[in-house]
Amino acid sequence: MLLVSEPVLGAEEKSALSDVVESGWITMGPRVRAFEEAFAAAHGLPDCVAVSSCTAALHLILLAAGIGPGDEVLVPSLTFAATANSVLYVGAKPVFVDIESLDVPLISPARAEELCNERTKAVILVHYAGALADAAPWRALAERYGLLLVEDSAHAVGVEGPGTIGDAAAFSFYGNKNMTTGEGGVVTARDPALLERVRLMRGHGMTSGTFARLNSRTPHYDVTMLGFNYRMDELRAAVGLVQLGHLPAWNATRRAFGRLYRRLIANACPDVRVPFSDEHACSHHIMPAILPAGVDRDRVIERLRDAGIQTTIHYPPVHSLTLYRERPDIGPLPVTEEFASRELTLPLHPRMTPADVEHVVEVLAAALRDQGAHPPQT
């Protein structure tokens, strides 16, 4: 089966894990700090805090910034549920915003401004597929309304720009991301004080961790705030350091395959739309394709699976999920709903070959022809 995503793991990661085991220290320690410094440097950022997941990162950002009950946070519905869930974690209300268009499936600044009121305190931008949101309109909107601007950069690891657009950013290293630690995430923030609050909150609000107390030769510590067990461990940090070293090459491969997909789809499947322009700054985390209107997507999925090709959907709109669809005051999101009903995610990862991309497009074209979609022009 050609998978939608597949991590690249091998001897280097095994060696790094073995070194941690042999060191005798597996909880948060020097490798976590080394990973934080390396990740920040690789993204042109002054510092970051490693945590247990991107979900934890989003939760901590909102909490550290003082977002809470009575506040509203603007979020896209075209995202993973964790984006909106993090708003619920702090007792605030997620307000769903439509995307710009089928070609630019990012949260719309214009629609976001229409939804702003005195309760609106923050907005979470999702860099869908790793394509970066345009900084200028969002910074202007945040300044006009005094909003906290948060980047959900789960898809955008390794591309220049995330962490510099908003006030804070959350990254993911889940198993299907461009680099992985299995589970894990990172927080970056413009305000060093906010980042320091996040650093304390990830470890129960304790003024020192176990490794720090060992090296300072004192068992004493204080708890200065309500915190959580959101720490990264040495095992994940060791894998992350190896993965980070390969990330530029892996992202370059993804970019090359993305361009090949775009060219082949234009020739073989002219009715299929590929979001974003080829010039859009992007980490090419996933390969979304918009099927022609009226096509039975499930039949296409089945045809591809019969050919040994996995596909998936990014995403079922959050506002349509059981947890959210009963909530009041969810406005119409027509562009999000159309995009979500026609989107199909094709395989894209560094373990693929150009021949794999060609095979996917050939089978996709055949599946569409079976349903009467326009054949390629000759």
Whether 177 is catalytic is yes
Determine if residue 289 is left, alpha or beta; phi over 0 gives left, psi from -120 to 50 gives alpha, anything else beta.
beta
d(CA 277, CA 122): 28
DSSP string, 173-242: -BTTSSS--BS-EEEEESSHHHHHHHHHHTBTTBSS-HHHHHHHT-----B-S---B-B--HHHHHHHHH
> Residue 47, SS3?
coil
| Structure-token match 């869930």, residue found | 85
Q: Which residue in 14, 93, 121, 177 is the catalytic one?
A: 177
d(CA 219, CA 316): 49
Give the number of other Cβ atoms within 10 Å of residue 146's Cβ.
Answer: 10
User: In 246-267, which positions are buried (b, 16+ CB within 10 angstroms) versus exposed (e)?
Assistant: bbeebbebbbebbebbeebbee
> Residue 319, SS3?
helix
Question: Is the separation of the CB atoms in 317 and 330 below 8 Å?
Answer: no
d(CA 105, CA 76): 10
d(CA 322, CA 170): 25
Active site residues: 177
